[in-house]
Amino acid sequence: MTALRQRLQRRFWDAHARGWDQMRSEPGVRAQIDAVTRSLGTHLPPGGAVLDLGCGAGQHAIALAAAGFEVTAVDYSAAMLQRARANAVAQGIEVDFRLADLAGDWSPTTAGPFDGAICVSVLQVLQDPSRVLEQLRTILGADGYLLVESVRELGALSRGRHLGPRDRAVNALKSVAVKLRPAAVPAYEPGDIARMLEASAFSVAEVSTYESTFTVLGHKQSR
């Protein structure tokens, strides 16, 4: 990824932080977040260590921490992390939020090994998702689980009913960009994610489908 593209993407997500936070806080979306985090949590030891990769405004990380897990959450948008930290403080939840660029050099190993990891709406914006999956595999424990969530339709998650004019304009620009360069943001199917996980030595433990997204749960295998 070029330095210019990195800067543009970071500025986009910084500008979109408020709208993303509002959308992720809608009751229906929150209910799905709770279901997704429960599906990961049932496979982890109580109080286990979890990494949230690309945490956005922090809703998944906070839900996992509220369930008793020790959560480290990273994102490359400073504005997203600011909202994530504020959300955690407002709910009295402790999460270790960190600034990190997954497309560059990032090293979460200081907080590992992790019992589980969650990666929500991230792989489709990475030029080399297999590299990140390999890195995730190295920092998971021997019995680690990785849950990947991806949208069933690009842009579906960002159509919040209560977004303001600015965020609706941002979403409209994003939709235009996707139509002009569809290959730039691939639309993955569950089978695509499953094959990527298997190529990185994860077995597919579970596939779940929700209104606008799907999840694929991978279990780390020995090589």
Q: Specify which residues 52 forms β-bridges with.
A: 73, 118
Place of tokens 């709208």: 19
Residue range 179-207: mean pLDDT, rounded: 82
- Give residue-wise pLDDT tens across range 32-89: 999 999 999 999 999 999 999 999 999 999 999 999 999 999 998 999 999 999 999 9
Phi, psi of 112 (to 5 degrees): -90, 180
- Give residue-wise pLDDT tens across range 159-186: 444 445 544 554 554 554 444 444 445 7
Residues 6+ apart with CB under 8 A from 219: 43, 143, 144, 145, 202, 203, 204, 205
| Residue 110, pLDDT score | 59
Residue of higher predicted confidence among 163 and 112: 112
Contact 89, 155 (CB under 8 A): no
Contact 43, 116 (CB under 8 A): yes
Residue type, 169: A
Q: Rounded to whole angstroms, how far apart are CA atoms 121 and 139?
A: 20
Contact 147, 116 (CB under 8 A): yes
Q: Domain span at residue 139?
A: 3-220
Q: Rounded to whole angstroms, how far apart are CA atoms 60 and 84?
A: 10
Contact 140, 110 (CB under 8 A): no
CATH (domain of 73): 3.40.50.150
Contact 187, 142 (CB under 8 A): no
* Burial class of residue 47 in the structure, from the number of CB atoms within 10 Å of its CB (0-12 exposed, 13-18 middle, 19+ buried): exposed
The number of folded domains in the chain is: 1
